[in-house]
Structure 1
Amino acid sequence: MEIAGPPAAPPPVPAAIRALAGDDRIRAVWLNSLGGLTFELTAADSSRRFAKWAPVGSGLDLGAERVRLEWAGAFAAVPRVLSFGSDTDGDWMLTAGLPGASAMSASFQSSSERKLLAVRGVARGLRMLHDTLPVDACPFSWSVADRLTAEQISVDAGVDPAPPVDRLVVCHGDACAPNTLLDANGVVTGHVDLGSLGVADRWADIAVSAWSTEWNYGPGYETAFLEAYGIAPDSERMRYYRALWNAT
């Protein structure tokens, strides 16, 4: 499994991002597995904006994320879209910064106690998101059927049929630890990277978010995650939604 993360070396800055930045300091903070980049733009007064870049041919759909952010922003702390555009090299989206830092920031990697604080913060933040976003008002789907259809995955791929739905919620769609923002005390301040947000069984998020604790903090944190979310382990649903994640 290819894991996204901070770029190993500063990447070239697309011309569109330089234009958006103006006099702001530009720092690449994230590189995803499809070649998309996120840049932090810091002004002289220390205020921050973030510019996401999707190069042509990457398959990333920033337009889909834009409409989801605009919808979710009425109910939860997510980035506010400032502008959006395209050129011959790719697409970009500029958002206002949120308070807090990624649950994967150095502060939360400094000790096992800080890692545990972050894991619990991520779990509680996910539960808050699931309890807050209104299912009946959500125009987006992240259901098993839609995901399999979108990726043209055959039912013979070992990820169908799905287990019965436990509880429908508006899922984050990529609830891995880096996409939760926390304050210094591990309290959630926001959620980012919502390009797949949509209605689905809550285990579609829970299974992957709990799994991401091992990728991002090391083994031994999954139980703490589930306890902080407030749910008992469900091996069948966790196994299924992790297989689906890998397949799509």
Structure 2
Amino acid sequence: MSFPAAPPAVPPVVRRLAAGRPVQAVWANELGGVTFRVGPGAEFIKVARTGVFDFTAEAQRLRWASAHLTVPAVLDFGVEQDWAWLRTAGLPGVSAVHPRWVAAPDVAVRAIGVGLRTLHERLPVRACPFDWSAQSRLARLTAAGRANVGAPPPIDRLVVCHGDACAPHTLIAEDGNCCGHVDLGTLGVADRWADLAVATLSLQWNFPGHGWEAKFFAAYGVAPDPRRIDYYRRLWGPRISTQAKLDAAFGAEHASAVAVAGRYLCRSQASATPAF
């Protein structure tokens, strides 16, 4: 999915890493991070203001997951001036929300469901050093946030979760099958419904006009669990209200750049959410 005709400015660190190769902004998230394609797609560079992102965690998770799953290879990462950055090798395929697949939502939704099931089955829970449990996430909320979300339901099945299983993070090959996953910065062990709830929530935003949840659950191979879906969507909610903090911290220039770039469509409609 591309940006409009007026993309955000390219930070100096991206130009340095590109070393004269062409650079194109290809995505931005709601936290102000921007991803640039370098050259003909062989490399990607993610950047974000320091204090907003620490790509160390994502680099560690990508390197661990790469032994079991198709994910971007980490080439390098670091901090330069006021930018954190992560450079990865490109993968075949395009995002599930690329216009090609938005025009074929039945294919895209099946690929997302099958792809997430594959991720959950291939990543070894006992060997995973990363935690994304409800308890660890609740501990990072304010008291008001914890009270709003409540206590988690009993665990259905522990898996290694993607941690941000929104539709854009599934890559789809020419044949319509999932061929990889990206943006694994919060990957960790948790109940599988922590991913399933968010994945189906994102379908409402990325493939509007039709209820695709049933097809997703059929592709994944599980019946919907309304109680767990509701809980993990409420737990997801607190991460949505971060944009105002970023705008206040970095000013109108930052807000404008992100607005031009566009934000992920995976977000909650709830306007009143507790803060981290």
Shift of 1:158: 2.4
Matched, 1:239 2:230: yes
The residue that corresponds to 2:206 in the other structure is 216
**In the alignment, does 2:83 pair up with 1:90?**
yes
Q: Is the CA contact (8 Å cut-off) linking 2:172 and 2:179 kept in structure 1?
A: yes
Higher relative contact order (CA 8 A, sep 6+): 2
Report the alpha carbon displacement of residue 55 of structure 1 after superposing the two structures with TM: 1.2
Task: Report the number of matched residues.
Answer: 237
Which residue of structure 1 aligns with residue 49 of structure 2? 55
Provide TM-score, normalisation by structure 1. Answer: 0.91
Q: Which amino acid aligns with 1:52?
A: K
Residues 95-106 of structure 1 aligned to structure 2 (within 5 Å): 95-106=88-99
One-letter amino acid of the counterpart of residue 67, structure 1? Q
> Is the contact made by 1:177 and 1:209 (CA closer than 8 Å) also made in structure 2?
yes
**C-alpha distance after superposition, 1:76-119 (max 9, x if no partner):** 00110001121112111100001110001011122xxx111001
Counterparts of 1:7 and 1:33 in 2: how far apart (Å)? 14
Letter of the structure 1 residue corresponding to residue 108 of structure 2 = A
Query: C-alpha distance in 2, partners of 1:199/1:21?
Result: 35
Aligned twin of 1:146: 136
1:35 offset after TM fit, Å?
0.7
1:40 to 37, 40, 61: 37
Other structure's SS at 2:46 match: strand
> Contact between 1:153 and 1:247, CA under 8 Å: does it hold in 2?
no
C-alpha distance in structure 2 between counterparts of 1:229 and 1:241, whole Å: 18
Q: Following the alignment from structure 1 to structure 2, what is the Cα–Cα distance between the partners of residues 96 and 119?
A: 25
1:227 matched to 2:221: no
Distance in 1 between residues matched to 2:166 and 2:102, nearest whole Å: 15
Report deviation, 1:7: 4.2
Which residue is 1:169 aligned to? 159
| Pairing of 1:116-195 with structure 2 (within 5 A) | 116-154=106-144, 156-195=146-185
**Residue 64 of structure 2 corresponds to residue 64 of structure 1:** no
SS in 2 for 1:165: coil
Higher mean alpha-carbon deviation, 5-14 vs 71-80, is at 5-14
Alignment partner of 1:158: what SS? helix
Distance 1:155 1:55 in 2: 25
Distance in 2 of aligned mates of 1:156 and 1:21: 43
Paired letter, 2:222: I
Cα drift, residue 128 of structure 1? 0.1
Cα distance in 1 between the residues matched to 2:228 and 2:148? 14
The one-letter amino acid of 2:185's match is G
Q: Quick one: distance in 1 between partners of 2:3 and 2:141?
A: 27
Q: By how many angstroms is 1:150 displaced?
A: 2.4
The runs of at least 4 aligned residues of structure 1 exceeding 4 Å deviation read 5-8, 153-156
Cα distance in 2, alignment partners of residues 155 and 33 from structure 1:
20
Relative to structure 1, is the Cα distance of residues 181 and 156 closer, same or farther in structure 2, using a 3 angstrom cutoff?
closer
Q: Quote the RMSD (CA, aligned, Å).
A: 1.4
Q: Distance in 1 between matches of 2:123 and 2:186?
A: 14
Q: CA contact under 8 A between 1:50 and 1:95: conserved in structure 2?
A: yes
Contact 2:164 2:184 in 1 (8 A): yes
* Residue equivalent to 1:201: 191
d(CA) in 2 for partners of 1:155, 1:69: 30
Which sections of structure 1, spanning at least 5 residues, go unmatched?
none
CA deviation vs aligned residue, 1:111-150 (integer Å, no higher than 9, x gap): xxx1110011011000000000000000000001111112
Question: Which runs of 5 or more structure 2 residues have no equivalent in the other structure?
Answer: 240-276
Asked if 2 retains the 8 angstrom alpha-carbon contact of 1:155 and 1:161, the reply is no
Distance 1:47 1:242, change over 3 A: closer
Q: Identity of counterpart residues, as a percentage? A: 50
